[in-house]
Amino acid sequence: MTKSELVAAIAEKAGIRKKDAEAALNAFIQVVEEALKKGDKIEIRGFGTFLMKERAPRVARNPKTGEKVEVPAKLVPAFKPGKDLKEATEKEIKK
């Protein structure tokens, strides 16, 4: 689903104009970005948590030359789904 498709779906579900839905979605994205930059986490009960996770340092290889490259530790944004979201999207694996 693209951002424009998401905006259209939000507008339809909420019974609002697409322009208003887009403004709300853009505001949500901006708030999440700003909170993560500050090191905060955003928890939406039942849906999930947006947070920053530390990625450990590692040694990678340049695929062209095979040369080893040191990749330093860094913080990356992550999303941890909540219990309700997991249950709503859970599918059984058929064997």
Assigned domain for 80 exists = yes
Name the band, by pLDDT with cuts 50, 70 and 90, for residue 91: confident
Q: Are residues 62 and 78 in the same domain?
A: yes
Assigned domain for 95 exists = no
Domain count, the chain: 2
Rounded CA separation 17/20 (Å):
5
Assigned domain for 72 exists = yes
The phi-psi region of residue 15 (left if phi > 0; otherwise alpha if psi is between -120 and 50; otherwise beta) is left
Q: Are residues 48 and 82 in the same domain?
A: yes
Assigned domain for 69 exists = yes
pLDDT surpassing 90 at residue 25: yes
Assigned domain for 84 exists = yes
Rounded CA separation 68/7 (Å):
44
**28-73 confidence digits (pLDDT tens):** 999 999 999 999 999 999 999 999 999 999 999 999 999 999 999 9
Domain with 63 in it: what CATH number?
4.10.520.10
Q: Are residues 49 and 32 in the same domain?
A: no
Q: How far is CA 43 from CA 57, 59, 79, in A?
A: 27, 33, 10
Longest dimension (CA), the chain: 56
**70-90 confidence digits (pLDDT tens):** 999 999 999 999 999 998 898
Q: Are residues 45 and 84 in the same domain?
A: yes
Q: Are residues 28 and 51 in the same domain?
A: no
Residue 16's domain comprises 1-38
